[in-house]
Every structure is written in C-alpha cells, then in structure tokens.
Structure 1
Amino acid sequence: MFTGIIEEMGTIENIAKGAHSAVLTINARKILEDVHIGDSIAVNGVCLTVTSFDHERFTADVMHETLNRSALAQCKRKSPVNLERAMSANGRFGGHIVAGHVDATGQIAGRKQDDNAIWIRVEAPPEVLRYVVEKGSITIDGISLTVAAVTAHDFSVSMIPHTAEVTTLGSKKEGELVNLETDIIGKYVEKLLHPQEEKKETHITQAFLEKYGF
C-alpha cells in the first residue's frame, strides 16, 4: 500500500524485454536506503517487486498484464520515473490510499499556467471517470492529487510548484500517456451498493405449465 507522495525520481537504466514481459533496472538513491528483496516499490504508480539491488539500482519484473494496462510499456532507457516505497505503519499518511494497481492509462490533453500553479487536463476512459469526483483524490503516475474539475470526457488537477519540481508530471507534455488509479474506496462502495445479481433458480416444470393452461 502507498500514499502517492513521491520520494524521488529515478531513471530507467535498462529494459530487458521478453516476449510479453520485461525486467526493469532502475537507478535510485533514497529508496535504496532500507530496501530488501521482495519489497514493493511504486514505479510511476505501478506496484513492482524488488528482485535484486545494490547501492545505486534495483531490478523488478514487469508481467504481461502490467504492460497491457499501464504506460510502463512506453518507458525507454533514461526515462525518469516516480518512485515511492510501500507505506510505513509508523509514518504520516500524507496522500490517500494507493494500491499501486493501475486502472487504465489517460492522456495529457492540456496544460496551462495559473500564477504559481499548473493546471493539467487528462482525458480518461469512462470506466475511470465514473470513480472520479471533484475534490476527490486520484493517482497520476503514482502522484496523489486532488481533482479540481470533472467532465464526461476528462478531469483536471492543479499542481503546485513543488510537485512539478520533484515528479515527472512537471515535464509531461500534451499527448503523453499517464498511469491512472482511482480512489479504491469508491470501488468498494459501488460493489456493496450494487452487488452482482445472482441467477435465480427456476422451478417451472412441464406439469406446472399444463396446470395453468400453457
């Protein structure tokens, strides 16, 4: 579990591609201070497992499903990535509950300066937008952000200078893809309010139909 508060930007050092998978080698510093094999690290909002590491880098496997559902497939050597270690039980909860399980990708549709802030407009599919609410939380490339506006086709966030400086979102351009994860609470609420309807067994028989004139 993560909070969406980025700890540092790392760099893709190498991508070893398989038929439908990949192994990423990522340069980092801060997050390696207490890393262990098997630890979870969010890379642009995607929860990956550390398979090896040294004092300058770590590696992680990326499976077929992850490449299909996220923008990690578009990463190249030297691409910057947002990094966050799994949430510590004794730390401050600075963002919101982030699972690191990307729902879909969105596309940067607009950027504009507003005094010291930058407005980012992101086009997203309907299955994502149904869970996006104004003043609610959303994760963009692993960054916990507050939704400022929502339409039928997109949503907007306003980014402070600090976020632009310490994450990859500050350099994202129109047309680029980003990983999106909506607030998990909304998904659970929907599931509880609208459970899947169970198929009801029928007890209608031939004898029943004949009895009532059918």
Structure 2
Amino acid sequence: MFTGIVEDRGRVLKIEFRGGAKRLFIELPFDLTEIRLGDSINIDGVCLTAVEKKGQVVELDLSPETIERTTLGNLKEGDEVNIERALRPIDRLGGHIVTGHIDGIGNITEKRWDGRFLNLKIRIPNQLIKYIVPKGSIAIDGVSLTVNEIEGNEIKLAIIPFTIAKTTLGDKKVGDKVNLETDILAKYVESLISQKGQTPKGLTLSFLKEHGYIKEE
C-alpha cells in the first residue's frame, strides 16, 4: 500500500524486452539498503516488485497486462518516473490510500501555469468518473491530488510548487497520457450499496447522506 506522496524521481536506464514482457532498470536517488528483493515499489502509480538491485539501480518486471493497461509500456530509456516505496505501519498517511492498481488511463487536455502553480485538466474514462467527487482524492501517475472541479468527464487539478519539483507532473504536455487510480473507498461504498440491490449512478454527498453513509449534523 502507498500514500501517493511521491518520494522523488527515478530515471529509466535500460529496458529489456523479454517476449511479451519487459524488464525496467531504474536508477533511484536514495539508499537502496532498505529495499529487499520482493518489495513493492510504486512506479508512476503502478505497484511493481523489485526483482534485482545493483548499486543505485533496481530491476522490475512488466507483465503483458501491465504494459497493456498502463503507460509504463511507453517508457523510453532516459525517461523520469515518480517513485514511492511501500507504506510502513509507522508512517503517516499524508496523502490517501493508494494501492498501485491502475483503473485506467487519462489524457491531459489543458496545462496552464499560474505563477509557480500548475493547473491541469485531465479527461477521465467514462466508466471511472462516477468514483470522483469535488475535493476528493485521485492518484495521477502515483501522485495523490485533490480534485478541484469536475466538468463532464474532465477534472481540474492544481499542483503546488513542491509537488512540481518532486514529481514528473510539471514535465507533462497536453496530449500526454497518465495513469489513474480512483479512491478505493468510493469503490467499496459502491460495492456495499450494490449488494443491497441498488445501483448508484454516482457517488455524491447527497447520495451518501440519503443512504445513511454520512450523518446530517
């Protein structure tokens, strides 16, 4: 499990093709002594397993499904990626609960600078927009962000300078694809409601209040 608070950027040194799979060789900027083989590492929002490590380089395998369902299959040597190690029981949950299991791929439709701050608009697949609410959380390439507004199937996000410096979001261009993970709590709520024989069209505050998940003050 992760928090969406990216630790730093890593750099893709090499990519090996292994049949329909790939192996990534990623240079990490921090001490690897705490990373054991078999540990989970979040790479651009995708939970991968450390299979080898040498010096500052960790090796991770991409299955054909991961290549098909995420943006990692499009990585090139020299690309930078967002890095987060798995959450420890003693760590603070600074962002929100992130599993590293990608729900879909979004497209950046607008990028606008407001001084040192960055405003992004991202188009969300139709089947995922129901899990997103204004002021709720979403992970974009592994970065925990707050949704400012929703317009149709697009969301607006404001990125602070610290996040721009620590992640790759500031380098993104209009038209770029990003990995999306919606808030898992919204999916659990939908599952619970569906088990009662109801089919919610969207998880809104009024919907949750109506069905007893939020108490009126």
Please, what TM-score do these two structures have when normalized by structure 2? 0.88
Q: What corresponds to 1:65 in structure 2?
A: 65
- Aligned CA RMSD, in angstroms, stands at 1.3
Q: CA deviation at 1:166?
A: 1.1
Q: What corresponds to 1:37 in structure 2?
A: 37
Q: What corresponds to 1:4 in structure 2?
A: 4
User: Can you list the C-alpha shifts for 1:79-123, whole angstroms capped at 9, x where unaligned?
Assistant: 000000000110111100000000011011101122332110001
User: Can you list the C-alpha shifts for 1:33-77, whole angstroms capped at 9, x where unaligned?
Assistant: 411000000000000000000221000111111111100011000
Give SS of 1:120's match. strand
Q: In 2 relative to 1, CA 34–135 (structure 1 residues): closer, same or farther, beyond 3 Å? A: same
Structure 1 position 19 matched with structure 2 position 12: no
- Which stretch has the larger CA shift, 141-150 or 23-32? 23-32
Q: What corresponds to 1:193 in structure 2?
A: 193
Q: Is the 8 A contact 2:30 2:56 kept in 1?
A: no
* Unmatched segments (≥5 aa) in structure 2: 198-217
Q: What corresponds to 1:143 in structure 2?
A: 143
Following superposition, which runs of at least 4 residues in structure 1 exceed 4 angstroms of deviation? none
Distance 1:106 1:33 in 2: 35
Q: Over alpha carbons, which structure has the higher Rg?
A: 1
* Unmatched segments (≥5 aa) in structure 1: 198-214
Q: In 2 relative to 1, CA 36–157 (structure 1 residues): closer, same or farther, beyond 3 Å? A: same
Distance 1:63 1:195 in 2: 33
Please, what TM-score do these two structures have when normalized by structure 1? 0.89
Query: Paired residues, what number?
Result: 197
Q: Is the 8 A contact 1:31 1:85 kept in 2?
A: no
Q: Is the 8 A contact 2:31 2:56 kept in 1?
A: no
